[in-house]
Amino acid sequence: MPRLVRGRYIARPAETPADLAAALTLRAASFRDGQTEDADAFDAVCDHVLVEDRQTGMAVCTFRLLSLGSGREIGRTYAAKFYDLSGLASFDGPMVEMGRFCIRPGRRDADILRLAWGAIARVVDGMGVHMLFGCTSFQGIAPGPYTDAFALLGQRHLGPAKWRPQEKAAEVVRLARTPHHPPDAKLATKTVPPLLRSYLAMGGWVGDHVVIDRDLGTLHVFTALEVRAIPPARKRLLRRVAYGSEPGVS
């Protein structure tokens, strides 16, 4: 992935041990309150991306990408630790798992997320990716604050039955297609994490249950986006960030 500069920020691959250390430090601050490190075996097989503040050089966002030739490789993903992904084993086409996406605590600039998606768009175009997927996280392990969000996801955003993950984790919260608690859409939208809102705005979908991850102290839901499902207007916006214009368009 080439470097992408837009305004105050730059998105670039993590290329050196110092770059990876910066990514891991940011992850620790985001997922573990800076108390312990956040590293695992997947770091060695993934490509890592940093978004930095050009004025300070500070890493403000990071994520990692694991490339798959097709669904036949789905068992080697991070998500496969928590979900039975056998339904996706027949998916025909390149896939990328995006993981450990985080923005520095306290940073509220929407341009950070926008630039991150621009960088992802370049990866998707460059590799001919057909599906982007991963685990998107809600803070904490108590489902209560997310009752409306989970009801909305179950009612409007469940993925196709043929691709949808089956339960594997020890502790899960089911998402009902017809929830007992009618969701307050405004409250639900406020409690859905920005990354997940972005996925859904582009036509993404979620699995039918949320995993309680006590190690990270989060709740996470399997999320996927079939590239062909992205609305044309949204693709144009992404490519405007990624290239300044659509590829081949002056």
| Number of domains, the chain | 1
Would you say residue 139 has pLDDT above 60? Answer: yes
pLDDT number for residue 28: 96
- What the block records as the tokens of 235 is 């693709």
Question: What whole-number distance in Å separates Cα of residue 94 and Cα of residue 119?
Answer: 17
Q: What is the CATH number of the domain that holds 44?
A: 3.40.630.30
- What the block records as the tokens of 54 is 């050009």
DSSP for residue 158: B
Answer yes or no: are the C-beta atoms of 147 and 176 closer than 8 Å: no
Q: Kindly state whether residue 202 falls inside one of the protein's structural domains.
A: yes
Q: Kindly state whether residue 249 falls inside one of the protein's structural domains.
A: no
- 220 lies in which domain range? 4-243
**3-state class of 215 per DSSP?**
coil
Residue type at 113? L
Answer yes or no: are the C-beta atoms of 86 and 124 closer than 8 Å: no
Please compute the mean of the pLDDT values over residues 186-213 and round it to a whole number: 95
Question: What whole-number distance in Å separates Cα of residue 200 and Cα of residue 224?
Answer: 9
Q: Kindly state whether residue 18 falls inside one of the protein's structural domains.
A: yes
In degrees, rounded to 5, the angle at the alpha carbon of residue 28 between the alpha carbons of residues 24 and 30 is 115
Q: Kindly state whether residue 188 falls inside one of the protein's structural domains.
A: yes
pTM of the model: 0.93
Tens-digit pLDDT profile for residues 105-131: 999 899 999 999 999 999 999 999 999
